[in-house]
Amino acid sequence: MLDYDEVTAFLGEWGTFQRLIFFLLSASIIPNGFTGLSAVFLTAIPEHRCRIPDTVNLSSAWRNHSIPMETKDGPEVPQKCRRYRLATIANFSELGLEPGRDVDLEQLEQENCLDGWEYDKDIFLSTIVTEVWSQEYLVFDHGHAHRIQLHTSLLCELRDVYSALYPCWNGTYIQLRGSICPGFIPESPRWLISQGRIKEAEVIIRKAAKINGIVAPSTIFDPSETNKLQDDSSKKPQSHHIYDLVRTPNIRILTIMSIILWLTISVGYFGLSLDTPNLNGNIYVNCFLLAAVEVPAYVLAWLLLQHVSRRYSMAGSLFLGGSVLLLVQLVPSDLHYLSTTLVMVGKFGITSAYSMVYVYTAELYPTVVRNMGVGVSSTASRLGSILSPYFVYLGAYDRRLPYILMGSLTILTAIITLFFPESSGVSLPETIDEMQKVKKLKQRQSLSKKGSPKESKGNVSRTSRTSEPKGF
C-alpha cells in the first residue's frame, strides 16, 4: 500500500486547497441549523384550555369556572384537555346557582374538548399546533365539502406525537438539501488510491498543488508500486459492503460501540435543544444562549483535538455534560437561574463531544470502509434525534426525569469511550487488518501471546511491535 501521507507531503498541511475544502464542507452544514432546531418555535405547544363557545349561555362566573383545575409544579392551573360538561353548567347558570358556593365543582361531570382549544398568545401568535390541530376538518370529495370530527382524546395524543416527529423529518429533509454542496468537492484521493484508481487521484493532487501555488513533482507515485497496486486491484477488485463492519470481532465491537456513542450523544444534544421551551425564562433568550454556548464548545473541542488524546477528550466532555445534568435535580425550585446555567454547561460538554466524535470515528475506521462506518454511526445519531423528543416529554410526569435519564446515559457513554482505541498521532488505517484493537480485545490478545509456550520471549516482543499499532 502506498504511503499517502508521505507522497502528498509536498502539498503542505493547511494550504488554500485544504482551506477551500474545509469551508465548503462547513457551508454544507449551515442550513441544517436553521430548520433542524426551528421546531423549538414552529412546533411549540402554547398554554391552552378547552374552548367554550360564545353561543353557550353562561354567566361570567360559570364561564370563568368552566375548566377543572389541576396542580402542576406547585400552583393550580386549568386542565388542557378537559372541561365541565357544558349542558350541566349551562343549566346551573340558568338557575342562578353560583360555582363553588351553591355547586361543588369537584362533583361535576367532565368531558373532552369537544369544541377545540383556546391558546395563550402571550409568547406565540401562531404555531403548527395552533394552526393544524383544530377539532374539525373539511374533507373535499368530488367537489363536495364534508366536515369530519376527530375524537378529542386522540387529538391530544396526536398533537404530542406530531411535535415529536416533525423535527426528525424536517432535519432529515434539510440534511438532504445540505448534501448538494459537497457535489462541488472532489473525491478523496486517499480513497481512490485504496481502490486502485491512481490516475484519478493524481489529477486531484496536481490540482490541489496548483491551487496551493506549489509545483508538483514530475512523478508523484512510484511507477513500480503504482503498477503493482493497479495489477492487484484488477485481479481482485476491492468490493466492500456494510457486512465488513461486523466481519471481524474487532471491527464488530467498534461498530457497536460507535453506534451507542453516536446515539446517546444525539439524545443529549437534541434533547437539551428541544427542551428549551421548558426552561424558566424567555424562550427566545434561552434558545440564543443554548446556541451561543456551542461556540466556546467548538473552540474547546478544537484545542482538545490538538493537544489531548481523543479518548480522554471525549470522555472528559461527556463526564462534564452528564454530571451537571444529574446535578440539576438537586437545585431548589426557586433557583431558576442556577438550574438554567447547569443546563447550559451540560449542553456545552455534550456539544464538545458531538463535534469531536466525527473526527474520532473517521480516524478509527480504515479507508476502505470509513464512509460506511461514519454513515452507520450517523444513522444511529438520527435515531437518537428521533428518540430525544420523547425524553423531553417525560418531563410532563416529572420535570427532573429527562435530566436524570440524559445525564445517566451521557456518563455511561463516557465510560464506554474509555475502551476505544487511541487515534491521536496514529496514521490512518488503510485496510481492516491495519485497524487498532479495541482496548479489552488488545489486552486479551497480548496476554494470550505472553502465555504461549511455543514462542520465545524475543519472538513475542517482535510480534507485538509489528502487529500492534503505534500510539496505543
- Final residue in a domain of this structure, among 156, 191, 223: 156
**Assigned C-alpha cell, 434:** 491495519
The domain in which residue 368 lies consists of 246-436
- Domain membership of residue 400 (yes or no) is yes
- Domain membership of residue 226 (yes or no) is no
Spatial separation of the C-alpha atoms in residues 174 and 181, rounded to whole Å: 12
Question: If you ran DSSP here, which 8-state letter would residue 46 be given?
Answer: -
302 lies in the same domain as 374: yes
442 lies in the same domain as 391: no
Spatial separation of the C-alpha atoms in residues 150 and 92, rounded to whole Å: 29
* Terminal-to-terminal C-alpha distance of the chain: 22
443 lies in the same domain as 347: no
139 has which bridge partners? 146
450 lies in the same domain as 408: no
- Give the torsion through C-alpha atoms of 388, 46, 334, 281, to 10 deg: 90
- For the chain, the domain total comes to 3
- Give the torsion through C-alpha atoms of 72, 78, 83, 89, to 10 deg: 130
- Domain membership of residue 195 (yes or no) is no
- Domain membership of residue 189 (yes or no) is no
Spatial separation of the C-alpha atoms in residues 261 and 398, rounded to whole Å: 26
- Domain membership of residue 224 (yes or no) is no
315 lies in the same domain as 397: yes
- Domain membership of residue 310 (yes or no) is yes
Q: In a 3-state reduction of DSSP, which class is residue 50?
A: strand
255 lies in the same domain as 404: yes
317 lies in the same domain as 441: no
Burial of 104: CB neighbours in 10 Å, binned 0-12, 13-18, 19+: exposed
Would you say how long the chain is, in residues?
472
- Final residue in a domain of this structure, among 105, 126, 156: 156
138 has which bridge partners? 147
Contact (Cβ atoms closer than 8 angstroms) between residue 419 and residue 440 = yes
CATH number where 363 lies: 1.20.1250.20
Spatial separation of the C-alpha atoms in residues 322 and 345, rounded to whole Å: 10
Which pTM was predicted?
0.67
- Domain membership of residue 7 (yes or no) is no
Q: What angle do CA 268, 73, 408 make, to 5 degrees?
A: 25
459 lies in the same domain as 407: no
399 lies in the same domain as 445: no
Spatial separation of the C-alpha atoms in residues 362 and 358, rounded to whole Å: 6
Spatial separation of the C-alpha atoms in residues 77 and 80, rounded to whole Å: 9
Amino acid at 425: G
Smallest CA-to-CA distance from 297 within 364, 261, 344 is with 344
- Final residue in a domain of this structure, among 156, 184, 210: 156
152 lies in the same domain as 283: no
Question: If you ran DSSP here, which 8-state letter would residue 187 be given?
Answer: P
The count of C-alpha atoms lying within 13 angstroms of the C-alpha of 327, restricted to the half-sphere facing its C-beta, is 16
**Assigned C-alpha cell, 39:** 421546531
Burial of 410: CB neighbours in 10 Å, binned 0-12, 13-18, 19+: buried
Spatial separation of the C-alpha atoms in residues 152 and 162, rounded to whole Å: 15
pLDDT in tens, the chain (472 residues): 456 777 778 888 788 888 888 888 888 777 777 777 788 888 888 888 898 998 888 999 999 999 998 887 667 888 888 999 999 999 999 999 999 888 898 889 999 888 888 888 888 888 887 876 654 443 334 444 334 444 444 444 444 444 444 444 344 443 444 444 445 788 888 778 777 778 888 888 888 888 888 888 877 777 666 665 555 555 555 567 778 888 888 888 999 999 999 999 999 999 998 888 888 888 889 889 988 999 999 999 999 998 999 989 999 999 999 999 999 888 887 788 888 899 999 999 999 999 999 999 999 888 888 888 899 999 999 899 889 988 888 887 888 899 999 999 999 999 999 999 888 888 888 888 888 888 765 555 554 555 544 444 444 333 333 333 333 3
257 lies in the same domain as 379: yes
Q: Quote the pLDDT of residue 10.
A: 82
Q: Quote the pLDDT of residue 88.
A: 92
458 lies in the same domain as 372: no
- Domain membership of residue 16 (yes or no) is no
